[in-house]
Amino acid sequence: MTGLVDVGDLTTALSQRDAVAVMESIYRISDRKMFAMDTDGNPITADAVLKDLVRCGYLKSADLADRFGNPATLDPAGDPEIVCAAGIFTSAEFLANNTSGNEFRKTASVMKMVINGFTGAGTIEMGGYDYDGGRRAEGDVKDFRAGQCMGACP
């Protein structure tokens, strides 16, 4: 799931902690400047809405850098609860260069986001289940693989 969230180049030039501090400072400076602007006393104006959107945008950017500035945060391969000899998937299963490996990596990526609380629910789409191949053994393999993926999810 790495590469899903891009917090820009700031985390390349600075540590994650420093990047978050810079983004939070930008938020505070912009907030003070916007607060000083006169809106003629009317609390609900296009100006007020624009200021609120800018504030939220800066704050959201700082939050994204804080939560996802380190790409390993979303990488299921580095989580021993998901991938290791005693994990949900063994390294051999997870790294297999075949359809099962692809489905296990996809499942683990969505699982990692749910386990870490980055999403409340996850959906995993698995193609090829129209059984056009016509062979019972092929359908059984697909059903078993889907069951493994469903059973892996907490």
What integer pLDDT is reported at residue 9 of this predicted model?
A: 67
What integer pLDDT is reported at residue 85 of this predicted model?
A: 85
In this prediction the pTM is 0.56
Q: Residue 115: beta bridge partners?
A: none
Taking residues 86-101, report their average pLDDT. 88
What integer pLDDT is reported at residue 8 of this predicted model?
A: 64
Taking residues 130-151, report their average pLDDT. 77
pLDDT higher than 60, residue 52: yes
Going by C-alpha positions, the residue among 35, 29, 24, 33 that lies closest to residue 61 is 24
pLDDT higher than 80, residue 84: yes
Going by C-alpha positions, the residue among 130, 129, 111, 131 that lies closest to residue 121 is 111
